[in-house]
Structure 1
Amino acid sequence: MVTSVTSLGKNGLYDWVIQRATAVVLGVYFVCLMGFLVLNPDLTFQQWQGYMTSTFMRIFTLIALFSMAAHAWVGLWTITTDYLTTRQLGAMGTALRVAVQGICALVTIVYVVWGIQILWGI
């Protein structure tokens, strides 16, 4: 079993649960957005803005944003620990894996901060 400080959960089961729970949140968020679009065929900008700036949708979007970040991190961690190994890449495997994980973490943090700024107008 691969244990790493860069893992989001404590072990593989926790990562699996995080991946599935965040997938459910993202699925429900997608269904809510698509449902609103289907129920409002003549949608105006003012209606869309009112819907997306309501407190419920802002909080739901924030939850979806954090879910997307956690979902992406678990997936990218799994990919990097499975395919960027010393067995496949030699001595550079660990260094490359840490570098790729660092870049992914940085990009994820930037996207979350940027999303919060867009969402709450900070």
Structure 2
Amino acid sequence: MSRHATGLRAWFLQRATAIYLLLFIIYVLQHMIANPPQDYHAWQGWIAQPLVGLGILLFFTSLLLHAWVGFRDVLIDYIHPTAIRVTVLTLVGFVLAGCAIWVLQIIFTATAA
């Protein structure tokens, strides 16, 4: 197998992030059913736990990577003019980077208070 197998890398990244997203959603649903937070301070206390905060950070990292790989593959397959493809990929990248900054702000605000 070649080291330049970017399609295989993208395929693996898409599957690995999907598995993590599914497992974390199951964990959160299970936690919310068994022990739902009653108010904002309970939510904040739960999110402020180091492993939960790390899990949430990994969840959103996986979500953004999953979205990037999906958008990139669709755009590469269906937008053939290079200039338009690069422009749209750049816009998608900026939107996802903005989402990442927003998520970091939310997580660090919740854990710092």
Q: Once the two structures are superposed, what CA deviation does each residue of 1:42-71 show, in whole Å capped at 9, x if it has no partner?
A: x40133222122111110111111111110
Match of 1:107 among 71, 95, 109: 95
Q: Percent identity?
A: 30
The residue number in structure 1 matching 2:83 is: 95
Letter in structure 1 aligned against 2:6: N
C-alpha deviation, 1:28, in angstroms: 1.1
TM-score of the aligned structures, taking structure 1 as reference length? 0.80
The residue number in structure 1 matching 2:68 is: 73
- What is the distance in 1 between the residues matched to 2:63 and 2:5? 19
Q: Indicate yes or no: 2:21 matched with 1:26.
A: yes
- What is the distance in 2 between the residues matched to 1:38 and 1:49? 17
- What is the distance in 2 between the residues matched to 1:66 and 1:47? 24
- What is the distance in 1 between the residues matched to 2:5 and 2:107? 31
Runs of 5+ unmatched residues, structure 1: 1-8, 86-92
The residue number in structure 2 matching 1:62 is: 57
- What is the distance in 1 between the residues matched to 2:58 and 2:71? 20
Q: Indicate yes or no: 2:38 matched with 1:44.
A: yes
Match of 1:119 among 93, 101, 107: 107
Runs of at least 4 residues off by over 4 Å? none
Q: Once the two structures are superposed, what CA deviation does each residue of 1:57-109 show, in whole Å capped at 9, x if it has no partner?
A: 11011111111111011000000001101xxxxxxx21111111000000111
- What is the distance in 2 between the residues matched to 1:83 and 1:97? 9
Total equivalences in the alignment: 106
- What is the distance in 2 between the residues matched to 1:38 and 1:118? 24
Compare the two structures and name the one with the higher helix fraction: 2
- What is the distance in 2 between the residues matched to 1:63 and 1:29? 9
